Structure 1
Amino acid sequence: MPFVVHLLGLAVFAQGTSEFMLSGLVPDISRDMHVSVPTAGFLTSAFAAGMVVGAPLTAVVSLRWPRRRSLLTFLVVFLLVHILGAVTTDYGVLLATRVVAALANAGFLTVALATVTSIVAPDAKGRATSILLGGITVACVVGVPAGAALGQVWGWRAAFWAVAVLSVPAVVAIVWSVPPDDLRPASTGARGELRSLRDRRLLVILLLGALVNGATFCTFTYLAPLVTAVSGIAPAWVPALLALFGLGSFLGVTVGGRVADARPGLLLLVGGVALLVGWAVFAMTAGSPIATIVLVFVQGSLAFAVGTILISQVLYTATEAPRLAGGFATAAFNVGAAAGPWLGGIPIGAGLGYRSPLWVSALLVTLALAVAGTARVRGHLASNRSRV
């Protein structure tokens, strides 16, 4: 595997840390910016919205740019807005930096996906994708807790400075490591790529990605109250459980990437059924601390393994539209990340308790399996190596 793939994973690690680190910094931002906690929490929603809109938008904007220029532009913008966020005293400016950072993150991830899959062997796209996405899971395990620790010791601004510093070696790495022959435009234009995105297989895979990721974040968002109020686990252990989920997701991305290039259809079926069973069992056994600990790890592994295979299949299916395919894959998964917490919050608001999001997650995976089965019967999903 080319070393540049790992270097791009470093940049994704920095960006993943930025995306998730606010979960431990919201109270400090609220006090420092003199805004309410919900208002400070809206910074997370702004980032998610920026990712959904930014992925296809930045993919189209950068179609005529060489990939190295695109990667550098998005990463430098990402770095600069974190410096601005670290020094500003105005909440409105901070909110704007989160939106711009999300746009830059989405653009970078979109181009990075196209880059790594273009410089590896034709049958190694799944493994290359897993290394790139592994940066996000490592951010969950290491980056987010480290950001929270920095915030507690030196204030929330230190976490923003740390993300900017982490981005510097990635900038240098792109300058020196992205293939120099990639100085020509990487695409024939938006119209040509959009034509290849009419493939019904691609639309089905994108829908499956949104549903599976929606199920994941439906439960992950409410994991803290679930394990404390239902499982009876002490609040002090919540960070450890979040890290355990991150470890599971890292394992899932790694394994999923290694098998995604072999028999993706069979693996998605087995993984999808296992994911459904896992959410249902979790819902029925959430009152047991031991079962909760085990299933937090297992479901993190299964969810990210299935997700990685789906992303690799987007790239296999849309070989003539690498930029827009990566952009729409990023957008689809972030739609799920945004919709999942909302769907999980509906039964909680109705008084059904913190166990209820688990059943919603199971329902979303059931819907994904139904969509996949219907598409397969209608011939919208092929079964060869490069198709689901």
Structure 2
Amino acid sequence: MLVVFSLTTGEFLIAGILPDVAADLAVSVSAAGLLTTAYAVGMIVGGPVVTALTARRARKPLIVGLVAVSLVGNLGSALAPNYPVLLVARWVAGLVVATFFAVAIATAVGMAPEGKQASTVAKVTLGMNLGIVLGTPLGTAVGHTLGWRASFAAVAAVSAVALLLVLRFLPAQPAAATGPVRAELRVFTSPALWWAIALTAVGNVGVVMVFTYIAPLLTEVSGFSATAIPVLLLVYGAGAVLGNFLGGWLADRALLPSLVGLLAVLVAVLALFWLVSPYQVGAAVLTFGLGVLAFAIIPGMQTRVLATAGAAPTLAVAVNASGFQLAAAFAGWLGGWVIGDGPGPRAVALVAALLTVVGLGIAGHALRQDRQPVTSA
């Protein structure tokens, strides 16, 4: 959980210190938003490639290596002398994240009692919630007090502690895969798996875009001070914890119907955020609501991928994580365009709502496919 906490904090931290990074490195906010894109591209590339190359590695040395690379990436971010070097450091930090999550989630689900797979995923992703509830706001506060470089240094320190704990306490385990890579790759001939991956990518792009630019949204549109952002990120994270367990509970009972319902509510909340964002009370309440819904959809989406993955769950989850980060990369670019060259910060939530409608359509399609009767020749 500490590893997941450090990975999540390192990923989402940039949302709270985006204006500080932009000002210090003399780049625009939209350009600083591309740091999210760089991290996402690292995950997109690293997810399938690193997972396939390490599938037959014993899990303990594999996890040690993954955490060590993350540590180096965050330390490099703290020491980066300029914007290009920071971009590269964020890319390096992102390379190993998808593989780590894939190994962790596939292992936990394999140990879960029947009918408890989604809620088990929710327990694993609790580390993500803690990264948002505690890590992101604390890291943002550190950045505002000591400078944004101190934020990344703190993440590197947590990664170092996590690495020591892995070395000390993680038992030796066999590799996650024993068959040939070519056989595992056959799982990607399944249309149902590709629809599940598409659901993750498209269903998350809107809410990720809003979170990436939450600091300029809340300061420039809602009128909050910069010192209020860590508190509002804490509000978002509290919603994320609730949503994580709610989503797991719902997915264990009705996987695709719950995803359809949650995405429909997410569309409505994003549209409402666009309407009320100039008002601080409404913006604060909906920040909590966005946290709930952003993480309520994750356990069901992960479980849907595992259900369609057959004999290659680790590789499928890694590719699914890459799909999520593909959405994050696109969200960073599109949100930056909306703020910099488009209609402005307030419109980010409206664009996000429209994008989430497409994800809702994919979930509805998957539900219709599952409900079609199987016909025999």
* TM-score bracket, shorter-length normalisation: 0.7 to 0.9
Gaps of 5+ in 2: none
Q: Residues 93 and 370 of structure 1: is their aligned pair in 2 closer, same or farther, counting only changes over 3 Å?
A: closer
In 2, Cα distance between equivalents of 1:151 and 1:287? 26
In 2, Cα distance between equivalents of 1:85 and 1:289? 33
Q: Residues 156 and 293 of structure 1: is their aligned pair in 2 closer, same or farther, counting only changes over 3 Å?
A: closer
Which residue is 2:325 aligned to?
Answer: 334
Decide whether the 8 Å contact of 1:150 with 1:156 is kept in 2. Answer: yes
Which residue is 2:26 aligned to?
Answer: 36
Which residue is 1:264 aligned to?
Answer: 255
Decide whether the 8 Å contact of 1:63 with 1:189 is kept in 2. Answer: no
Q: Report the 3-state secondary structure (helix = DSSP H, G, I; strand = E; otherwise coil) of the residue aligned with 1:167.
A: helix
Q: Residues 86 and 383 of structure 1: is their aligned pair in 2 closer, same or farther, counting only changes over 3 Å?
A: farther
**Matched-pair identity in %:** 35
Q: Return the offset for 1:30.
A: 7.0
Residue 148 (1) aligns with residue 140 (2) = yes
In 2, Cα distance between equivalents of 1:88 and 1:61? 29
From 303, 314, 320, give the equivalent of 1:312. 303
Q: Residues 327 and 255 of structure 1: is their aligned pair in 2 closer, same or farther, counting only changes over 3 Å?
A: same
User: Which residue type is aligned with residue 200 of structure 1?
Assistant: P
In 2, Cα distance between equivalents of 1:263 and 1:376? 11
Q: Report the 3-state secondary structure (helix = DSSP H, G, I; strand = E; otherwise coil) of the residue aligned with 1:37.
A: coil
User: Which residue type is aligned with residue 154 of structure 2?
Assistant: A
Deviations 1:250-307 (A, max 9, x none): 2211221233222112211221221122222222333433222221111220121012
In 1, Cα distance between equivalents of 2:118 and 2:70? 26
Q: Residues 217 and 383 of structure 1: is their aligned pair in 2 closer, same or farther, counting only changes over 3 Å?
A: farther
Decide whether the 8 Å contact of 2:201 with 2:327 is kept in 1. Answer: yes
In 2, Cα distance between equivalents of 1:95 and 1:168? 22
Q: Residues 129 and 176 of structure 1: is their aligned pair in 2 closer, same or farther, counting only changes over 3 Å?
A: farther
Which residue is 2:351 aligned to?
Answer: 360
Which residue is 1:254 aligned to?
Answer: 245
Q: Residues 177 and 318 of structure 1: is their aligned pair in 2 closer, same or farther, counting only changes over 3 Å?
A: farther
Residue 301 (1) aligns with residue 292 (2) = yes
In 1, Cα distance between equivalents of 2:294 and 2:100? 23
TM norm structure 2? 0.86
In 2, Cα distance between equivalents of 1:67 and 1:315? 20
Q: Residues 45 and 179 of structure 1: is their aligned pair in 2 closer, same or farther, counting only changes over 3 Å?
A: same
Deviations 1:218-271 (A, max 9, x none): 222333333344444445433322221122122211221233222112211221
From 171, 182, 193, give the equivalent of 1:191. 182
Decide whether the 8 Å contact of 2:232 with 2:284 is kept in 1. Answer: yes
Which residue is 1:123 aligned to?
Answer: 115
In 2, Cα distance between equivalents of 1:222 and 1:25? 10
Which residue is 1:56 aligned to?
Answer: 48
Which residue is 2:38 aligned to?
Answer: 46
Which residue is 1:201 aligned to?
Answer: 192
In 2, Cα distance between equivalents of 1:27 and 1:278? 25
Decide whether the 8 Å contact of 2:103 with 2:176 is kept in 1. Answer: no
Gaps of 5+ in 1: 1-8
Deviations 1:8-66 (A, max 9, x none): x210111111222244556776788xx43347665443222111211111111111112
Q: Residues 172 and 260 of structure 1: is their aligned pair in 2 closer, same or farther, counting only changes over 3 Å?
A: farther
Residue 321 (1) aligns with residue 312 (2) = yes
In 2, Cα distance between equivalents of 1:154 and 1:341? 26
User: Which residue type is aligned with residue 303 of structure 1?
Assistant: A
In 2, Cα distance between equivalents of 1:235 and 1:150? 13
Q: Residues 31 and 127 of structure 1: is their aligned pair in 2 closer, same or farther, counting only changes over 3 Å?
A: same
Q: Return the offset for 1:207.
A: 1.0
Q: Return the offset for 1:318.
A: 1.1
Structure-to-structure mapping, 1:159-174, within 5 angstroms:
159-174=151-166
Decide whether the 8 Å contact of 1:125 with 1:316 is kept in 2. Answer: no
Decide whether the 8 Å contact of 1:67 with 1:115 is kept in 2. Answer: no
Which residue is 1:139 aligned to?
Answer: 131
Which residue is 1:3 aligned to?
Answer: none
In 1, Cα distance between equivalents of 2:180 and 2:308? 18
TM norm structure 1? 0.84
